[in-house]
Amino acid sequence: MKKNLFCLAALCAAALVSCTPKELIIEEPESIDNPKETAELIHITIKASMSESTKATISTDRTWTWDASDKLAVFDGTTVTKEFGIKEILSDGQAIFEGDVASTASLTAVFPYAAALSDGSYKLSSEQTISTGQTVDPSAMVATATGEKASDSEFTFYFTPAVSFFRLSVGAGVSKVILHTVGKDDTIAGESRSVTVNLPGTAGSFWAAVNPAVYHGIRAFAYDGTSYAKKGADAAEIDLSAKGSGKNIGTVSGGTAVSVIENADNLISYLGNPALDGYIVNDLDLTGKTITSCASFAKTFDGQYHSIKNWTSEGTALFGANSGTVKDFTLDSSCKLNLPATLAAGDYAFVVKTNQGTVSGIRNEADVAEWTGEITGAINLGIIVGNGPANSIVENCYNSGKLVINAAEHGGIGTSAISGVCGRLTNKTSSAVACINRGNIDITTGINAAGANIYCAGVLGCTTNTVSAIECINYGKIDIQLSKTNSALIVAGVSSYTSGPLTGCENHGEISINSDTFIQAVALGGVCAYSSGAMENCMNDAKISLTAQYFNGGNAIGSIKSDTTVSTTTGALAVGGIVGYTYNKFSMDNCHNEGNIIFELSEQDQKVAIGSTYRFEFGGCVADAWGDINNSHNTGDIEAYVRTSTGDAFTPVKPSDTSSAGGGGTLYIGGIAGANYEAIGQSCLNITGCTNTGQIITHSDSQSTTNCAFGGIVGWPGKEADCTSITKQCTNGAESDAEKGSITVSGFITYRAGGIQGGSGRIEDCTNYGTIYAKSGKPSIGGIAGYHGGGYQVSSSSNYGTLKSDVKATGVGGLIGALQNIEISFGEGCKVDCNLVSSNTTEIGLILGHFNGNTYAITLGSETNPIKVKGECKGTTVSTDNYLNYLYGPAKYSSSLHTVFAEYWN
């Protein structure tokens, strides 16, 4: 085609067909791209002409004239593309093409021939060349036509534009312009996100053919023979979806000086001297190339959503230290990422080792090669970012590469922060937003001295000083295999440790820790392991498991340490569906756990001398809570087992006195929260509007006399004296299924189990449907609370759940299992409709199982608002005639001090 036309609008073609059958013999061997065609072919001629009435919207004065070299690609429904050459150019602007087809039933065509693909479609070239005297590359003016049969010997083709156009103006000396899309899902030429237009070097206006589409911004990079300049609105929407349409983007030369990275050598050169902002304009293949890390970077490096392929890193990050912006590129799965043979103290990553700027939109799809070596110091390891000491923003980053670490058993070497995305973030000026990890993390090691804690999570290994994490998600599995550990493990799906807010974060990856021998302090959570910030709209739906032979002792975990002005004890074990340990100023709102929690110590008799204050805490949402929990829900089951190697009972002892019962390893388990044990004052856990339908199943061979506590909502809500905590408007279980919210306990332990609370605290407007089943041990069980005291109020609460004890219990009560001997008045608005089953217990009643003493005045219900009761007690159905005989256990009842107001509930 002649080079004086820069846009195709619509072409009309009339085809004259001469039917001259002949057989085509193909000598080449048959293949997918070149199948043998055995059908008889028909030789046809096509007369093509252009309608003067239809012009391109970007041109009103140009006409299309044919050139002797023009060719059409004709498709006749077979797998072979037919090439039609020009036979004659007529004086009226029409042209005659000729070629062979297998059938004339359905014919389509693409112009020019070079743009056609074998399936009848076309691809616009991302490299266009405009020569002197031209305003557009004629080979880029792609058009298509469908043949319509006018008569037995004639066909009509209507060519229409298949492309749209950008008009650009340049000054003299500009020899090349690269147009690049801003929208990450936009393509501009075929599947490419950029189109390169080679120019004659003269000033003027030119046209670039592009895919018809709506563009979400275009950047133009103009090259004058020595350097590039960038122009373009990053977010200006341009509608070129109508084929043949055009847009004038104005002058593109004379913009901001930048570096354009077109190939691997450009990247290597740029990292060696990043004097300007850098922009990648093509996918980069680094086969056989060696990257030297950019030691210090303060500019903008924009990958423009391109991929880096076939890079082999021997522990090298693209950027050593970043205080600028690194954004929007992918490390392709073809890359080979290798850690150094020895991990000494420091920061490790493959994109940015130490970040004090912004890292955004980075995707890693490459696995880190399985690493076997030695860790010799405190490390911050993330596949994308190693460490962010301050002013570090990590956003919209994604990792799907796995991380496998096999470290030899070692002594105290400092804390390691390990993650799929970012190892560590510090300072309130830092944050992580919308980051996702899909890569599995497998760590195998052993720690034989204190001071070598492991902080590990899918997205953020560790954060401090109120770093925030917003809408971060983990899908990767985390598996830690230990020979033993004398240090603390802080492990979670999203962020292992934080003092800042977590909002909209989710975990969907299973987390497991297993020790061949012992563990020594663990904080484990689906979303976060340790938090002293606000958690909102977070969720976990993955299984969390912790197994070992025995627990060996506690360690400091954050602010949870032996300094009694800070907390009650050092960290022991806290495993929560959403979060493990929490600290001052923690809060939770609208969080949800669906994941099961499994904990087992298989041979705890190997270690009987453990601290008397150590508590093992488990919660469907929170294990140990220092704050308010609102509108949160658990559907995951909790299974916790402390066993001996023989199945016999063992008695734990204080380390300082091997002759006395220690109580170390006491279990606190709750469907929402395990306990409020670590908090100063142990009086800061308020639970409102929460529900639990997960089951609690626990067994312990410990025969310590310290009371364990299990509750459908909370196990141990706070200390028994001077506690201001309250549980209100909460529900355990489901009316339709007695197994939901159920609590089953066995072993040799002494415990309190209740549908709402195990231990004592304020309860208001709560309901239990779950079954409480004491299979063995020394229990006190109640439909609302296993034990109650402290003078606290219980009001407007109802129990519909069955209580069953196979062993002699201190008390089995439809409302309360056992009641402290203290002056108290409570129970107004409460209701009981349940079945009490116990063949060995005499201290049993629809309201109260057992009065602990008879020296204080106690009132249950009131004359104007009595407790409503009905149900069944030890096989007897309660009625209006006998209900007064089944209200409480008789052992320590005092008619002069104990007053019970009750009425049968019709």
3-state helix, strand, coil in the chain (%, to 5): 5, 50, 50
Structure tokens at 671: 């469907």
* C-alpha separations of 59 from 62, 135, 202, 206, 247 in Å: 6, 11, 21, 12, 11
Between 783 and 18, the higher pLDDT residue: 783
Structure tokens at 385: 């970012």
Q: Are 902 and 868 in contact (CB under 8 A)?
A: yes
Q: Dihedral angle at the C-alpha atoms of 286, 290, 292, 293, nearest 10 degrees? A: 50
Helix (H) or strand (E) holding 264: helix 264-272
Which residue is listed with tokens 């996100």?
Answer: 193
Mean of pLDDT values over 482-499: 95
Q: Are 577 and 595 in contact (CB under 8 A)?
A: yes
User: pLDDT per residue over 43-98, tens digit each?
Assistant: 888 877 654 433 333 343 334 567 888 899 999 888 778 999 999 988 877 788 99
Structure tokens at 192: 């490419």
Check residue 721 and give its pLDDT.
Answer: 81
Mean of pLDDT values over 546-560: 91
Structure tokens at 683: 């009086």
What is the spatial distance between Cα 877 and Cα 891, in angstroms, rounded to a whole number? 22
What is the spatial distance between Cα 505 and Cα 578, in angstroms, rounded to a whole number? 10
Between 556 and 455, the higher pLDDT residue: 455
* C-alpha separations of 814 from 152, 651, 867 in Å: 94, 31, 11
Check residue 63 and give its pLDDT.
Answer: 46
Between 630 and 412, the higher pLDDT residue: 630
Residue 806: pLDDT over 50: yes
Check residue 613 and give its pLDDT.
Answer: 81
In the chain, pLDDT over 90 holds for what percent of residues?
76
Q: Are 512 and 526 in contact (CB under 8 A)?
A: no
Average pLDDT in the chain: 90
Q: Give the pLDDT band (50/70/90) at residue 19.
A: very low
What is the spatial distance between Cα 904 and Cα 867, in angstroms, rounded to a whole number? 9
User: pLDDT per residue over 339-367, tens digit each?
Assistant: 999 999 999 999 999 999 999 999 999 99
Mean of pLDDT values over 521-550: 97
Order of strands across the sheet that contains 898-900 = 824-826, 858-860, 898-900
CB atoms within 10 A of CB 255: 16
Check residue 48 and give its pLDDT.
Answer: 73
Residue 442: pLDDT over 50: yes
Give strand pairing partners of 455. Answer: 417, 490
| Torsion-angle region of 658 (φ positive above 0: left; ψ -120 to 50: alpha; else: beta) | alpha
User: pLDDT per residue over 200-217, tens digit each?
Assistant: 999 999 999 999 999 999
Q: Give the pLDDT band (50/70/90) at residue 103.
A: confident
Q: Give the pLDDT band (50/70/90) at residue 556.
A: confident
Check residue 662 and give its pLDDT.
Answer: 56
What is the spatial distance between Cα 785 and Cα 788, in angstroms, rounded to a whole number? 6
Q: Are 811 and 844 in contact (CB under 8 A)?
A: yes
Per this entry, what is the length of the chain? 906
Structure tokens at 133: 């005297």
User: pLDDT per residue over 617-662, tens digit each?
Assistant: 999 999 999 999 999 999 999 999 999 999 999 988 876 655 555 5
DSSP-based three-state secondary structure for 859: strand
Q: Give the pLDDT band (50/70/90) at residue 6.
A: very low
Q: Give the pLDDT band (50/70/90) at residue 22.
A: very low
User: pLDDT per residue over 810-860, tens digit each?
Assistant: 999 999 999 999 999 999 999 999 999 998 899 999 999 999 999 999 999
Q: Give the pLDDT band (50/70/90) at residue 719.
A: confident
Beta strands in 596-656 (DSSP E): 597-601, 615-619, 622-624, 627-630, 633-634, 638-642, 653-654
pTM confidence score: 0.91
Residue 12: pLDDT over 60: no
Q: Are 247 and 214 in contact (CB under 8 A)?
A: no
Q: What is the 3-state secondary structure (H, E, C) of 470-491?
A: ECCEECCCEEEEEEEECCCEEE
What letter does residue 773 receive in the DSSP assignment? E
Q: Dihedral angle at the C-alpha atoms of 141, 146, 150, 151, nearest 10 degrees? A: 110
What is the spatial distance between Cα 15 and Cα 158, in angstroms, rounded to a whole number? 11
Least confident span in 24-38, 549-563, 815-829, 838-852: 24-38
What is the spatial distance between Cα 703 and Cα 663, in angstroms, rounded to a whole number? 8
| Torsion-angle region of 33 (φ positive above 0: left; ψ -120 to 50: alpha; else: beta) | alpha
Q: Are 652 and 664 in contact (CB under 8 A)?
A: yes
What is the spatial distance between Cα 464 and Cα 533, in angstroms, rounded to a whole number? 10
Check residue 531 and give its pLDDT.
Answer: 96
680 phi, psi to nearest 5 deg: -60, 125
- Residue environment code for 190-216, b if the CB has 16+ CB neighbours within 10 A, otherwise e: eebbbbbbebeeeeeebbbbbbbbebb
Cβ contacts of residue 712 below 8 Å, gap of 6+?
670, 671, 692, 696, 732, 733, 741, 743, 754, 755, 756, 768, 770
Check residue 610 and give its pLDDT.
Answer: 81
Which residue is listed with tokens 């956003």?
Answer: 395
What is the spatial distance between Cα 228 and Cα 170, in angstroms, rounded to a whole number? 13
CA nearest to 703, candidates 643, 626, 620, 760: 643
Mean of pLDDT values over 484-497: 96
Mean of pLDDT values over 167-195: 96
What is the spatial distance between Cα 340 and Cα 827, in angstroms, rounded to a whole number? 66
CA nearest to 256, candidates 284, 240, 232: 232
Structure tokens at 814: 């439809």
Check residue 17 and give its pLDDT.
Answer: 29
What letter does residue 605 receive in the DSSP assignment? G
DSSP string, 658-711: EEEE--TTEEEEESSEEE--SSGGG---EEES-EE---EEEEE-B--SSPEEEE
CA nearest to 182, candidates 364, 434, 361, 308: 361
Q: Give the pLDDT band (50/70/90) at residue 550.
A: very high
What is the spatial distance between Cα 288 and Cα 311, in angstroms, rounded to a whole number? 8
User: pLDDT per residue over 881-903, tens digit each?
Assistant: 999 999 999 999 999 999 999 99
What is the spatial distance between Cα 638 and Cα 620, in angstroms, rounded to a whole number? 7
DSSP-based three-state secondary structure for 157: strand
Mean of pLDDT values over 114-121: 90
Instruction: State which amino acid sits at residue 441.
Output: I
Check residue 346 and give its pLDDT.
Answer: 96
Query: Angle at Cα 184 formed by Cα 180 and Cα 190, nearest 5°?
Result: 60
Q: Are 867 and 861 in contact (CB under 8 A)?
A: yes
Which residue is listed with tokens 């929490």?
Answer: 582
CA nearest to 594, candidates 625, 633, 624: 633
User: pLDDT per residue over 278-315, tens digit each?
Assistant: 999 999 999 999 999 999 999 999 999 999 999 999 99
